[in-house]
């Protein structure tokens, strides 16, 4: 019997375990070790638990450990941390975090799905009670309890998580201040698009301070203030939302090759540089089809796909993961915020000669009651007119429209190709000239 050990029990790890077991059946023994107390959870839904929209941590779980063990014959070991990998002899050492006991488990195949860690600031006081990052369900529980006891919340960072959590804290009736070093929120959007989001966030009573260097967190056991170059900010609770870094410690120790991004490098089959060792999820870089090279964009959709590909290959198939185009959507207060591909700044950094166009159009026909403006921005390569990226922001119709442009990027379309797409029309859903087509028409004219 072959043995597969999976390190990590969230999206990529469980997708790999399920695919391999489905293909191999009783001829493969699969064991999953998860350091936290929860598996198969939707991290993107954690702000909705913190805000109270979801009433219990269990509401974040997709499939329970009991379902995995009963329906898929895959044992799940929660609160079990893999502390050592012996690649040559083929075993892992596991620490039971509840009783402190250690155990050793042999493997023929290894799936590393250790995910990512929330970035810290590296300043004094980060260990104070009330200073948190958000990754795991335990983090979400701790943040919710921390926020309930106070009124003043400070968020360090202005990306997706920071802005989504600002909404969650406002829903809880908190006074929210966002501290940002750069002058722009959402750095993976172009400035004029980010400004739309910033205006929305400010309109909800959130204070945004830019140009801020955070020097320390201070308090008597629990955080009471954030000390910065622009003065002190009172804080009963702090969320550090500076993005994520790949958790590659175990992989690095056994000599797994890391990519230029600092995440684990894999091929199209999700194989690492070591034989019989696969990887996927937020600890891994993915091939970016627009850039033509690997990128680190940790998202749940990518993790699930990469995990399944890894599991299918462990199970005997020859499956490839072609790559990503950098598609992401977010709900920030009353706005749908969406992007795919490259911003103009990102295109320039990649050495691409590109230009951007920006249009504003209705989400529905003017002959139908309702509808809101949508702002659309295209990034286009000058010489070839190849679509390089798109961004959309509006109160409705932006989040799902971006999928059309993600498909266009996946297919390598030009803006002329996009302009000629046969998109659906009905007054209740779109104007006769959809915002996508209007933007493509402007982009093809340069």
C-alpha torsion angle, residues 63, 32, 95, 221 (rounded to 10): -40
Element (DSSP H or E) covering residue 257: none
CA distance 277 to 396: 44
Report whether 389 contacts 346 (CB < 8 A): yes
3-state secondary structure of 353: coil
Q: What is the dihedral angle through the alpha carbons of 219, 222, 225, 228, rounded to the nearest 10 degrees?
A: 80
CA 143 – CA 133 distance, rounded (Å): 8
- What is the Cα–Cα distance from 268 to 341, expressed in whole angstroms? 20
Give the distance, in angstroms, between the CA of residue 261 and the centroid of all CA atoms in the same chain. Answer: 16
Quote the tokens at residue 365.
Answer: 């026909």
Cα–Cα distance measured from residue 6 to residue 8, given in angstroms and rounded to the nearest whole number: 6
**Residues 362, 398 contacting (CB under 8 angstroms):** no
Residue 176 tokens read as 């929210």
Place of tokens 């990998």: 85
Residue 8 structure tokens: 């990590």
Q: Return the ∠ at Cα 322 (arms to 316 and 323), rounded to 5°.
A: 125
CA-atom Rg of the chain in angstroms: 23
Sheet with 231-234: strands ordered across: 214-218, 225-228, 231-234
Q: Kindly state the tokens that stand for 233.
A: 């900010």
| Element containing residue 307 per DSSP (H, E) | helix 300-314
Query: Which listed residue (23, 44, 399, 404) is catalytic?
Result: 44
44: annotated active-site residue:
yes
- CA end-to-end span of the chain: 61
> What's the burial of 210, exposed, middle or buried (CB within 10 Å: 0-12/13-18/19+)?
middle
Instruction: Report residue 314: phi and psi, to 5°.
Output: -60, -35
CB half-sphere exposure, 25, CA atoms < 13 A? 1
Longest dimension (CA), the chain: 70
Active site residue ranges: 44
């Amino acid at each position: 019997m072959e043995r597969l050990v999976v390190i990590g029990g969230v999206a990529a790890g469980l997708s790999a375990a399920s695919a391999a077991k489905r293909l191999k059946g009783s001829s493969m023994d699969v064991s999953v070790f998860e350091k936290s107390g929860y598996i198969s959870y939707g991290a993107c839904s954690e702000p909705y638990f913190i805000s109270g929209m979801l009433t219990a941590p269990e509401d974040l779980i997709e499939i329970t450990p009991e379902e995995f063990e009963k329906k898929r014959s895959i044992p799940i070991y929660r609160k079990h941390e893999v502390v050592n990998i012996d690649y040559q002899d083929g075993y892992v050492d596991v620490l039971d975090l509840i009783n402190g006991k250690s155990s050793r488990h042999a493997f023929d195949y290894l799936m590393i799905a250790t995910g990512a860690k929330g970035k810290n600031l590296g300043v004094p006081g980060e260990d104070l009670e009330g200073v948190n990052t958000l990754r795991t369900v335990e983090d979400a529980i701790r943040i919710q309890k921390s926020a309930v006891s106070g009124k003043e919340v400070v968020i360090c960072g202005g990306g997706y998580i920071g802005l989504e959590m600002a909404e969650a804290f406002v829903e809880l009736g908190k006074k929210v201040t966002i501290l940002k070093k750069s002058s722009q929120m959402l750095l993976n959007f172009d400035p004029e698009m980010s400004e739309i989001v910033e205006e929305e966030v400010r309109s909800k009573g959130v204070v945004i301070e830019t140009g801020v260097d955070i020097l320390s967190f201070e308090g008597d056991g629990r955080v009471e203030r954030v000390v910065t170059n622009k003065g002190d900010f009172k804080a009963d609770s702090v969320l550090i939302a500076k993005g994520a870094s790949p958790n590659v410690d175990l992989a690095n120790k056994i000599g797994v090759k890391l990519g230029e991004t600092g995440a684990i490098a894999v091929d199209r089959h999700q194989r690492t540089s070591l034989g019989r060792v696969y990887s996927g999820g937020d600890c891994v870089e993915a091939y970016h089809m627009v850039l033509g090279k690997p990128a680190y964009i940790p998202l749940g959709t990518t993790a699930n796909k990469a995990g399944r590909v890894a599991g299918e290959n462990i199970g005997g198939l020859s499956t490839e993961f072609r790559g990503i185009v950098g598609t992401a959507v977010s709900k920030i207060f009353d706005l749908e915020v969406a992007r795919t591909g490259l911003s103009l700044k990102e295109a320039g950094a990649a050495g691409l000669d590109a230009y951007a166009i920006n249009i504003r159009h209705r989400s529905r026909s003017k002959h139908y009651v309702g509808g809101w403006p949508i702002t659309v921005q295209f990034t286009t390569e000058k010489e070839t007119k190849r679509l390089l990226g798109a961004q959309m922001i509006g109160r409705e119709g932006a989040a799902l429209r971006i999928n059309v442009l993600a498909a266009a990027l996946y297919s390598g379309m030009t803006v002329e190709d996009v302009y000629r797409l046969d998109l659906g029309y009905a007054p209740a859903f779109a104007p006769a000239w959809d915002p996508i087509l209007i933007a493509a028409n402007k982009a093809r004219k340069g």
